[in-house]
Chains A and B, each alone.
Chain A
Amino acid sequence: MVWIGAVHTSDKRHQLANKILKNLLTSSQANQLFLSDYIFNEIINNITNKQKSKNITNDERKKIITNIATSIYNSRYVKILKVSRFHIGTAFEYMLKYPDIFSSLTDWSSLILMKENKISVIKTLDPDFMTITQRLPEFKQIQVCKF
């Protein structure tokens, strides 16, 4: 995930993800980055799970979580979109309808939120998004920038 890799040096794609987000924030076009609350949840879960498997002190743990929370949650360029019952219902319906597409419920709900909020570009390290936008006409207008 771009968000995790960007701020976490132990992530295998840290350099690439860090560069993607830095470029977005420093380019003149990007003044707002979006993620869903499900993605935010995944970021925090992923990092806390990694912490559990390592021997780190409570102080280090606190520092890491505070750093992630403040950097993403309080950034003036970041808007966290709320996933509703409607989004989950719709995303689940897509999962049932297209079981051959290996996207998660979070992925589907991200695309549904994008369409609803007219967000046209997704920067991702995940190839499944491209499969969806190429196959399903309702998501065709979403541009997937994969790395």
Chain B
Amino acid sequence: MEFPLLLHILGASILVGGLITALSFQLFGWARETPGGAAMLARFGFLSLLVLALPGWILMRVGAQWIWSEQGWDDVPDEPAWLDIGWMTGDFGLPLILVALILAGVGARRLRQGGGTTSGFVRGATVVTAITLIAYVVAVWAMSAKPD
């Protein structure tokens, strides 16, 4: 039982860490920057989503499913609220991460190729990353405090 929980928590930590890292690069790049600086910050924001947030989500989700199966939650008729919050943020978070990833990737590519100091795509990715991060912070609170 402990190993799936470790996998779940480790994955969630990497996911949240990856989102915060991406958001930090995106926010520092949001302010006025030199063209080279904006492209570099946008690239690291994109890579943080790709190399950290996405694999973190997979680890978190695999751990969650493993725990679900081992503890027999599928036999429980009325799931507690904290579990619903966990499932909802977990599953709806993936499309948000993918949207942020695509926006960040297109934005970083455009900044690298065309220069410029701002990109609507990167700013869009920043907003989606922030929304996803807020959802996961709520999920971490719900999964640990377990409100009724």
- Whether both chains belong to one complex is answered with no
Taking Cβ atoms with an 8 Å cutoff, the residues of B that contact A are none
